[in-house]
Structure 1
Amino acid sequence: MEYLVYVSTAKKFMSDAELLDLLQAARIKNAEHNVTGMLLYSEGTFIQALEGEKENLYAIYNAITLDSRHRNIILMVSGSVEERIFPNWSMGFASVNADVLELIEGYLNPSNKNFIGDSNHATILMLKTFVKINKLSLSF
């Protein structure tokens, strides 16, 4: 099993409706490719962790690099993992627009101390750092 984490900049700030469209499309593609992960968004910046079999994982990632909604895509880390970090999430999602998005299936409230888990894996640490820097969470 492989994983990767990337950051990117949205070409423009995204509305709640645009984020919901992105999330729904990502869930469908990820399910088709047996890829799981988490997407975080704050003020025009995305960080996404993805995991799956290498061929499927990079099919998704390569599609993201061609997506016109993203720019400045930087692959932060990739590697192998023995088991999934996000086994039940076709795409976990969190955004600063928590009031509206809390109603969306799969939304994870970053103010919940263990919204990701307590693993010390690099993927989890990067996501938690993003949440903390963007003040998506009160504390860990």
Structure 2
Amino acid sequence: MEYIVYVSTAKRLMTEDELLELLTIARTKNKKYNVTGMLLYCQGTFMQVLEGEKGSIELIYKVIELDIRHKNIIKLASGIIEKRNFPDWSMGFASINSETLQEIEGFLSSPDLNLNGNPEHITVNMLKTFVDNNKLYISF
């Protein structure tokens, strides 16, 4: 099993409706390819972790690279993992403007963030840092 972590910049600030649409599509695609992970968004910046079989995450990452809604995609880390850090999350999601997102299944605040994977793994540490610095709320 492998993982990819990347950051990118939205070409423009996205509305909550646009973010919800993006989340719905991502969850459907990720379930189809058995990919899990988390997508974070704050004031035009995305950070995402994808984990799954190599071919599946490479396919999804290629689609992400072609997505016209963002630019400046930087792969921060990639590698092999023994087990998923997000085994039950077809795509966790967070937004700084999340008051209306509280109605989404699996909503929790960042102090409640409890990842089942290795708490020392680079993906978990990157996400926790992003969440803490931006005081995000998490939906999974």
Superposition TM-score, scaled by structure 1 size: 0.91
CA distance in 2, matches of 1:106, 1:59: 27
CA distance in 1, matches of 2:136, 2:115: 13
Which residue number in structure 2 is paired with residue 78 of structure 1? 78
| 1:98 Cα offset (Å) | 2.0
User: How many aligned residue pairs are there?
Assistant: 136
CA distance in 1, matches of 2:106, 2:66: 25
Paired residues of 2:38 and 2:48 also in contact (CA < 8 A):
yes
Paired residues of 1:89 and 1:106 also in contact (CA < 8 A):
no
Identical aligned residues as a percent = 57
CA distance in 2, matches of 1:24, 1:107: 15
Consecutive unaligned residues of structure 2, counting only runs of 5 or more, are none
CA distance in 1, matches of 2:8, 2:106: 21
Which residue number in structure 2 is paired with residue 19 of structure 1? 19
Superposition TM-score, scaled by structure 2 size: 0.91
Paired residues of 1:6 and 1:77 also in contact (CA < 8 A):
yes
Alignment pair present for 1:129 and 2:91: no
Which residue number in structure 1 is paired with residue 103 of structure 2? 103
SS in 1 for 2:77: strand
CA distance in 1, matches of 2:104, 2:135: 21
Q: Which amino acid aligns with 2:7?
A: V
CA distance in 1, matches of 2:92, 2:115: 9
Of stretches 117-126 and 49-58 in structure 1, the one that deviates more from structure 2 is 117-126
Q: Once superposed, what is the RMSD of the aligned Cα atoms?
A: 1.5
Which residue number in structure 1 is paired with residue 119 of structure 2? 119
Q: Following superposition, which runs of at least 4 residues in structure 1 exceed 4 angstroms of deviation?
A: none
CA distance in 2, matches of 1:22, 1:115: 24
Greater strand percent: which structure?
Answer: 2
Paired residues of 2:33 and 2:56 also in contact (CA < 8 A):
yes
CA distance in 2, matches of 1:127, 1:90: 16
| 1:105 Cα offset (Å) | 1.9
Consecutive unaligned residues of structure 1, counting only runs of 5 or more, are none
